[in-house]
Amino acid sequence: MSETPAIQMMGITKRFGKLTAVNNVDLSIKRGEVFSLLGPNGAGKTTTIKMLCCLLKPTSGSAIVLGYDINRDSEKIKQIIGVSPQETAVAEKLTTRENLNLMARIYGFSKEDARERVETLLDMTELSERSNDRVKRLSGGMKRRLNLAMALISDPDLLFLDEPTLGLDPHARRSIWKQIEAFKGKKTILLTTHYLEEADALSDHVAVIKDGKIVAHGTPHELKRDAAVMQIMVIRAQRIPEACIDELKTNYPFVKETAEGLEIRGERLVFDGIVDLIRSHGVKIEWLTMKQPSLDDVFSSLVEEEGAE
């Protein structure tokens, strides 16, 4: 595998008037890896991808994509990448096969080569049995698989997947995962996602972006390891008064009611002090536990405001 990065971002910035959507981002993405860009809505994920795909021009900074500069070589880059956008970009009135054939012809395939490539992708994405159905009759998961197949029509070395499993049920989501996992080591994939389980399962490296800035970067294991200093206590009780929660928040950066119970996070949780404080409010503790940080916990600690409700 080449040592030259597939993508090298150098101070890439995008402003829309007074809003800075992406702020001086430096990132390097290796060839053949799955790289996930995580962040809340409006963090700058899609804007970053649009600049790398040459759909938006940076306000400042630049990036090298497969050896080409996004500011000078936009047409060349567009020819050699594959993009699966957040919005399902398919023609609903055409059949599955017709959508793929149209994309192949746009890329300059001959009729014979287009037919062969379309059959390969139908088989790869498990859409052969629905190849002659109009797209409007397909499920959401099938449409996302078709979207992925269309991005793969030119067999690109670099694939951009913007929220590829957004809104899908767990079965459909795992079907897309299967396709992504098959490309590991063969294609470079830049993936944006809201699903922490997805990033943890698929990614070689992860970057967390907040307010247009990268706030953490590393492998999923490294991010969880670095967060190991953060302790997490979960307490279950019938009812914890607001006054008790407010008092806890004065001592610890993160106190939140979850489905499991009251979750408290901090670098040094004083176990006895927390229990005594809660009991002083007349609360009977039913159950409590300490747990190790997950990637979801790491993400929450990075992007949520202190003391978030």
Range from 37-46, 102-111, 256-265, 270-279 that averages highest in pLDDT: 102-111
State what percent of residues in the chain have pLDDT above 90: 52
Query: In the structure, what pLDDT confidence band is assigned to residue 300 with cuts at 50, 70 and 90?
Result: low
Query: pLDDT tens digit string along 148-184?
Result: 999 999 999 999 999 888 878 888 888 889 889 999 9
User: What does the pLDDT read at residue 130?
Assistant: 94
Query: In the structure, what pLDDT confidence band is assigned to residue 305 with cuts at 50, 70 and 90?
Result: very low
Average pLDDT, the chain: 87
Q: Among the listed ranges 35-39, 249-253, 290-294, which one has the minimum average pLDDT value?
A: 290-294
Instruction: Tell me which of 295 and 70 has the higher pLDDT.
Output: 70
Model confidence at 307: pLDDT above 60: no
Model confidence at 70: pLDDT above 70: yes
Domain ranges of the chain: 7-224, 231-292
CATH superfamily to which 7-224 belongs: P-loop containing nucleotide triphosphate hydrolases (3.40.50.300)
Going by C-beta distance under 8 Å and a sequence separation of 6 or more, which residues neighbour residue 68?
A: 76, 77, 80
Closest among 202, 203, 198 to 219, alpha carbons compared: 203
Model confidence at 188: pLDDT above 90: yes
Q: How many CA atoms lie within 13 A of 260 on its CB side?
A: 13
Query: pLDDT tens digit string along 98-130?
Result: 999 999 999 999 999 999 999 999 999 999 999
User: What does the pLDDT read at residue 309?
Assistant: 36
Closest among 296, 307, 222 to 38, alpha carbons compared: 296
User: What does the pLDDT read at residue 266?
Assistant: 73
Instruction: Tell me which of 88 and 276 has the higher pLDDT.
Output: 276
Candidate CATH numbers 3.30.70, 2.60.40, 3.30.930, 2.40.128; the one for domain 231-292: 3.30.70
User: What does the pLDDT read at residue 293?
Assistant: 65
User: What does the pLDDT read at residue 304?
Assistant: 60
Residue 223 has which token pair?
Answer: 């991010």
**The dihedral sign for the CA sequence 131, 132, 137, 143:** positive
Residue 248 has which token pair?
Answer: 């806890």
Residue 154: helix, strand or coil by DSSP?
coil
